[in-house]
Amino acid sequence: LDGLGVPYRPYYIINMIRVDGHRWLVSRFRNRSGVAAVILNPNVRRYPRRIPLSGVGKDEAGVSGKVQANLAAIHAADAWALGVTGEGIVVAGQDTGYDWTHPALKPQYRGWDGRAADHNYNWHDAWDNRAEPFDDDMHGTHTMGIVVGDDGAGTRTGVAPGARWFCCRNMRRGLGNPGAYAECIEFFLAPYPHGGDPFTDGDTRYAPHIVNNSWGCPDIEGCFPDTLRPAVEALRAAGIMMVVSAGNDGPACGTATTPPANYDAVFSVGATDNDGNIVGFSSRGPVDGLLKPDVSAPGDWVRSSVPGGGYGYAGGTSMAGPHVTGLVALLWSAAPALVGDIDATEALICRTARPRPVEEVCTAVDEVPKGMFTALLYNPVCACGGVTGTPNNVYGCGFIDAGAAVREALGLSR
Radius of gyration of the chain (CA): 21
> For residues 271 and 257, is the Cβ–Cβ distance under 8 A?
no
Dist. CA 176–CA 220, nearest whole Å:
10
- Catalytic option among 318, 323, 333, 401: 318
- Catalytic option among 75, 102, 119, 139: 139
Strand, helix or coil for residue 212: strand
- Catalytic option among 75, 95, 151, 282: 95
Strand, helix or coil for residue 272: strand
DSSP β-ladder status, 267-272 and 241-245: parallel
Alpha helices in 153-272 (DSSP H): 178-189, 198-201, 229-237
214 catalytic residue (yes or no): no
* Interacting residues of 249 by C-beta distance below 8 A, sequence separation 6+: 255, 256, 257, 258, 281, 283
Strand, helix or coil for residue 182: helix
Dist. CA 70–CA 217, nearest whole Å:
27
124 catalytic residue (yes or no): no
318 catalytic residue (yes or no): yes
Dist. CA 388–CA 394, nearest whole Å:
9
- How does DSSP classify residue 259? T
**What residues are annotated to the active site?**
95, 139, 318
